[in-house]
Structure 1
Amino acid sequence: MLDWITRIVETLGYWGILALMFLENVLPPIPSEVVMPLSGFAASQSDLKFWLVVAAGAAGSVAGTLPWYFVGKYVGQERLMHWADRHGHWLAISSKDISKATNWFNHRQGYWVVLLARMVPGIRTYVSIPAGISRMRLLPYLAYSLVGTVIWVSGLAIAGYFLGSHYEAVSRYIQPVSAVVILGLLGLSVAWVVLRKRKASH
C-alpha cells in the first residue's frame, strides 16, 4: 500500500493528496498516518508547497466525513446498529461503538467531541456517524471538524517534513498522542455529566 500511496502523491500532487485523504475517511485501511507524513516529506523534496499540501489533506479529509454524516442522519441509529452487528467487521465497527459514540453527543458538547475526535485514529472517521444521528447542524459540524482536521494533518505533515526519509516513524508516535486526546474526551464527558447533575440539583 505504501508504494501505491507514494505513486499517487508523486503523480497527482495536491489532487492525489486530496483524493487519498477523502478515501482515508471512506475506506479506513488507507491511513492518514502514512499519507500526510509522506506528503510532508514530498513537500521537502519537490516543488510542492507545504501549506497547499496541508490544505489539500484537510479538504479531502473533511469532505470524506460527509458520507458518514449523512448516513447517520438519514439511516438512523437503530438500523445502523443492526447493520454493524451483521457487517461492521469489514470496517472494524460494532453496534456498541455506535452506541457509545452517540451517548457522547448532545447539542452542547457534541461540537467539541467532533473537534477532538478528528485527531484520534480509529475514532476520527466514525465520529461523523453520531454527529449525523444527533442531527448536529451541518455548518458548525464542518467548522469544528475542519479545525480538528487541520491540527491533525498539519502535525503529521510537519513531522514528515522534518523527519525526511524516516517519515514512516510517525505512526509509532501516534499512540501516545491519541491517548492524551482520548483522556481529554473522557474528561470532557465527565465534566458535562457533573455540570448537568449540579444544574438538576438546583
Structure 2
Amino acid sequence: MDVIGPAGAGLAIALENVFPPIPSEVILPSAGLAASRGAFTLWEAVLWTTLGSVVGALALYGLGAWLGPDRLRRIADRIPLVSGEDVDKTVDWFGRYGGRAVFLGRFVPGIRSLISIPAGIVRMPLGRFLAFTGGGSLIWNTLFVMLGWILGEKWHVIDPYLSIVQDIVIVVVAGLIVWFVVVRWRARRRGRREREE
C-alpha cells in the first residue's frame, strides 16, 4: 500500500467492484494502516477508495445498460429454471426499490458489486445512481479505512471476524439460490403434470 499510494488503493477498489473475489475488507484497512504510518493522509485514502468504488460500479452499470431488459430476457429464456418473466419482475421491483437497493447493496459482500448491473439494466438516472453508490461507498470505505487507521499494526486482529461475517453472507446467498432452484423445479414439474392431465 505504501508503494501504490492512495490512487493505487482506489484502483484496487475499482477492480474489486468488477471482480468481487478481490476483498475490499483487506484493501481498505491496509489503506488505513498506510495512512496511519504517514504514507498518505486519511482523507486521501477515503477519497481515492470511494472514487475507485464509484468507477468500478459505473463499469458494471454500463454493462447492465448495454445488456438492457430485452437482451437479458432473451438470455434468461435460454437458462434452465429462469424465464423472461423473471427479468420483467426484477425490472419492476428495481423500479420501485432501486435507490434503496443500490445504497444498501454497498454494505453486502458480493451484492456490493453486482447491484450496479440491474441499475444499468433499468437505466436508473445516472445522477441518482452516483448519489446512492457514492453515499454507500463513502460510509463502507470510511468504516474500514478508519479500522485500519485506529488499529494500526494490529488491524489483522479483526480479519477472522470479517471472514466469519463474509462466510455467513455467502451461506445465506447460497441457501437462497438453492431455495430458488427447488421452488422453480417444483413449479415446472407441477406445470408439466397439469398439462399432461
State the TM-score, normalizing by the size of structure 1.
Answer: 0.69
Are 1:121 and 2:113 an aligned pair? Answer: no
Matched residue SS, 2:94 = coil
CA RMSD of aligned residues (A): 2.8
Deviations 1:39-58 (A, max 9, x none): 10111112411011000000
Amino acid paired to 1:33: E
Q: Tell me if 1:147 matches 2:139.
A: no
- Closer, same or farther in 2 for the Cα pair 1:124/1:103, shift >3 Å? farther
Distance 2:36 2:50 in 1: 19
Task: Provide Cα deviations, 1:61-105, integer angstroms capped at 9, x if missing partner.
Answer: 11111111011112124645738x88xxxxxxxx79x95865641
| DSSP 3-state at the match of 1:152 | helix
Tell whether the 8 Å contact from 2:69 to 2:122 is kept in structure 1 after alignment.
Answer: no
Counterpart-to-counterpart distance in 2, 1:37 and 1:80? 37
- Whichever residue aligns with residue 21 of structure 2, its letter is P
1-structure distance, mates of 2:107, 2:66 = 25
Match of 2:155 in 1: 167
Say if 1:115 and 1:77 are closer, same or farther in 2 by CA, change over 3 A: same
Structure 2 counterparts to residues 33-182 of structure 1, below 5 A: 33-77=25-69, 79-80=71-72, 82=75, 102=91, 104-106=93-95, 108-174=96-162, 175=165
5+ long unaligned stretches in structure 1: 1-8, 87-94, 183-202
Taking the aligned partners of 1:27 and 1:120, their CA distance within structure 2 comes to: 15
2:5 maps to which residue?
Answer: 13
State the Cα deviation string for residues 150-174 of structure 1 (Å, max 9, x = none). 0000011111112222323444444
TM-score normalized by structure 2? 0.71
Q: Which runs of 5+ in 2 are unaligned?
A: 173-197
Question: Which structure: larger Rg?
Answer: 2
The partner residue of 2:19 within 15, 27, 31 is: 27
Of all paired residues, the percent bearing the same amino acid is 38
Q: Could you tell me whether the CA contact under 8 Å between 2:2 and 2:39 is conserved in 1?
A: no
